[in-house]
């Protein structure tokens, strides 16, 4: 990580919560996760976020590439239901321990 | 064959595909073949074939492949530069979303032939040098800066190409010294380019109140800010 300017932290992502996997009552499909984005409450609002990149960041004991932090990248794929929840696909499926954890929803690839 | 100057147009309209309106004898008359014959003394004119240029004897190669190899179709497609979003015009202030300069507000200069956007801080204002940025990682704001005083013709993708590395394949003793020398100092002419571009820009920036501090500040999402509702 390049420390260009220390001290100024800018948040260029929207916070999101991982709700779980896409599922029916008795079966779950872990290749797609459901994410609740802060401040998004209808499926019309989700349209802005379609295609945006997501990052699930977690810590591990073993240092990899010089850092204890690791990341799984993903994309917002489509809305889920009417109330602003989204479906997302990640490069590798999210681990079940991630349920309830924070996910970062970035504003790129941007279209404005 | 010499190229025709007028395209070939059939005088026999098709009723259905394969069936013409006029019969052979009618078409003979329509095409005026009788007039051509009359001009030539009752016989259809005959041209002798042009003598072929003596072809050089082709050397038959000893090798030819056992199976017929399929020749791939020629690809004549040309890549177009990425379409520039309507919100991004020269002089627009952009917000960079990722990378070393994320959150920085930056002035857009022009789109390069590769599709990337040429952008500058200006360097004195927020530390962003002349740089290329991808359109997908940028938000176009509605703030515009007057860019008429800046000449950006000399900048293109080759300007930003990495300098060809010198090959130092000598002994190991020299290896360590060579690494230390390649500290990558920016060449002076690039620094001068930055200064000339910024000089004109800073003048137009200072003409607008608060614009300089706006460009120096970084963009950040705060509590309660919803990007899908923001107007940039």
Is residue B126 within 8 A of residue B105, CB to CB? The reply is yes
Residue by residue, what is the 3-state secondary structure of chain B?
CCCCCCCCCCCCCEEECCEECCCHHHHHHHHCHHHHHHHCCCCCCCCCCCCCCCCCCCCCCCCCCCCCCCCCCCCCCCCCCCCCCCCCCCCEEEEECCCCCCCEEEEEEEECCCCCEEEECCHHHHCCCCEEECHHHEEEEEEECCCCCCCCCCCCHHHHCCCCCCCCCCCHHHHHHHHHHCCCCCCHHHHHHHHHHHHHHHHHHHHCCCHHHHHHCECCCCCCCCCCCCCC
* A40 at interface of B, judged by CB pairs closer than 8 A: yes
SS3 A26: coil
A52: left (phi over 0), alpha (psi -120 to 50) or beta: beta
CA distance A34 to A93: 12
Token pair in block for residue A7:
């001290």
Q: Inter-chain contact B85–A111, Cβ cutoff 8 Å?
A: yes
Q: Using the predicted structure, report yes or no on whether residue B62 has a pLDDT greater than 90.
A: no
Q: Which of chain A's residues have a Cβ under 8 Å away from the Cβ of B229?
A: 45
Q: B71-81 pLDDT, tens per residue?
A: 888 888 887 88
Mean pLDDT computed over A94-104: 94
For chain B, give the percent of residues with pLDDT over 70. Answer: 86
Q: pTM above 0.80?
A: no
Distance spanning both ends of chain B, measured CA to CA: 62
Q: pLDDT tens for residues B83-130?
A: 999 999 999 999 999 999 999 999 999 999 888 999 998 999 999 999
Mean pLDDT (whole number) for B134-139: 94
Which of B223, B228, B230 is the mutation pick for testing A, counting most A CBs within 10 A?
B228
On the question of a cis peptide bond just before residue B214, with omega within 30 degrees of 0, the verdict is no
Q: Has residue A1 got a pLDDT over 50? A: no
The percent of residues in chain A predicted with pLDDT above 70, rounded, is 94
Backbone φ, ψ for residue A68 (5° rounding):
-80, -10
First-residue to last-residue Cα distance in chain A: 28
Instruction: Give the whole-angstrom CA distance, residue B113 versus residue A71.
Output: 34
User: A112 touching B, CB under 8 A?
Assistant: yes
Query: B169 falls in which pLDDT band (50, 70, 90)?
Result: low
| Long-range contacts of B34-40, Cβ-Cβ distance < 8 Å, separation of 24 or more | none
Q: Which two tokens stand for residue A38?
A: 């802060």
CA distance A91 to B94: 30
Q: Chain B contacts of A112, Cβ < 8 Å?
A: 85, 87, 139-140, 232
Distance from CA of B209 to the nearest CA of A (A): 24
Extract the tokens encoding A25.
Answer: 């009552």
Cβ neighbour number for residue A52 with a 10 Å cutoff = 22
Over residues B58-84, mean pLDDT: 79
Give the integer Cα–Cα distance in Å for A39 and A34. Answer: 15
pLDDT at residue A15, rounded to an integer: 93
Report d(CA B232, CA B230) in Å as an integer: 6
CA dihedral B103, B107, B108, B112 (to 10 degrees): -90
Q: Facing residues of A80 across strands?
A: A85
Closest-CA residue of chain B to A38: B226
- The Cα–Cα gap between B185 and B54 comes to 63
**Cα of B82 to nearest chain A Cα, Å:** 13
Count interface pairs A-B at CB distance under 8 A: 60
ipTM: 0.86
Nearest CA in chain A to B222: A11
Q: What is the pLDDT of residue B64?
A: 76
B136, B218, B224 ranked by CB distance to A108: nearest: B136
Q: What is the mean pLDDT of residues B198-218?
A: 90
Task: Flag the least confident range among A100-109, B75-84, B211-220.
Answer: B75-84
Residue-wise pLDDT tens digits, A88-97: 999 999 999 9
Strands A102-106 vs B131-133: parallel, antiparallel or unpaired: unpaired
Place of tokens 């001009």: B39
A4 confidence band (pLDDT: 50, 70, 90): very low
Helix (H, G, I), strand (E, B) or coil at A18: strand
The 10s digit of each residue's pLDDT in A31-78 is: 999 999 999 999 999 999 999 999 999 999 999 999 999 999 999 999
């Amino acid at each position: 990580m390049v420390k260009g300017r220390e001290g100024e932290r800018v948040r260029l992502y929207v916070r999101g919560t991982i709700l779980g996997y896409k599922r029916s009552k008795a079966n779950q499909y872990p290749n797609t996760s459901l994410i609740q984005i802060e401040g998004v409450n209808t499926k019309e609002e989700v349209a802005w976020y379609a295609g945006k990149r997501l990052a699930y960041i977690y810590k591990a004991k073993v240092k990899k590439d010089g850092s204890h932090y690791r990341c799984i990248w993903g994309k917002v794929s489509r809305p889920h239901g009417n109330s602003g929840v989204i479906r997302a696909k990640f490069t590798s499926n999210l681990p079940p321990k991630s349920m309830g954890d924070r996910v970062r929803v970035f504003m790129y690839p941007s279209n404005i | 064959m010499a190229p025709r100057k007028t395209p070939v147009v059939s005088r026999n309209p098709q009723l259905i595909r394969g069936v013409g309106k006029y019969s052979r004898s009618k078409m003979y008359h329509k095409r005026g073949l009788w007039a051509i014959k009359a001009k030539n003394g009752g016989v259809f004119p005959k041209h002798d074939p042009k003598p072929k240029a003596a072809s050089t004897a082709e050397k038959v190669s000893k090798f030819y492949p056992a199976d017929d190899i399929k020749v791939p179709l020629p690809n004549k497609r040309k890549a177009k530069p990425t379409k520039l979003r309507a919100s991004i015009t020269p002089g627009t202030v952009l917000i960079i979303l990722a990378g070393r300069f994320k959150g920085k507000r930056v002035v857009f200069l022009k789109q390069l032939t590769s599709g990337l956007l040429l952008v500058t801080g200006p360097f004195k204002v927020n530390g962003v040098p002349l740089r290329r940025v991808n359109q997908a990682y940028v938000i176009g704001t509605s703030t515009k800066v007057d860019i008429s005083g800046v000449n950006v013709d000399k900048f293109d993708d080759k300007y930003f190409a990495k300098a060809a590395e010198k090959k130092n394949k000598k002994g190991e003793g020299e290896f360590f010294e060579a690494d230390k020398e390649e500290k990558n100092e920016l060449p002076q002419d690039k620094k001068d380019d930055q200064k000339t571009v910024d000089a004109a820009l800073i003048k137009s920036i200072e003409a607008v109140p608060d614009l300089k501090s706006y460009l120096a500040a970084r963009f950040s999402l705060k509590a309660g800010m919803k990007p899908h509702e923001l107007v940039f």
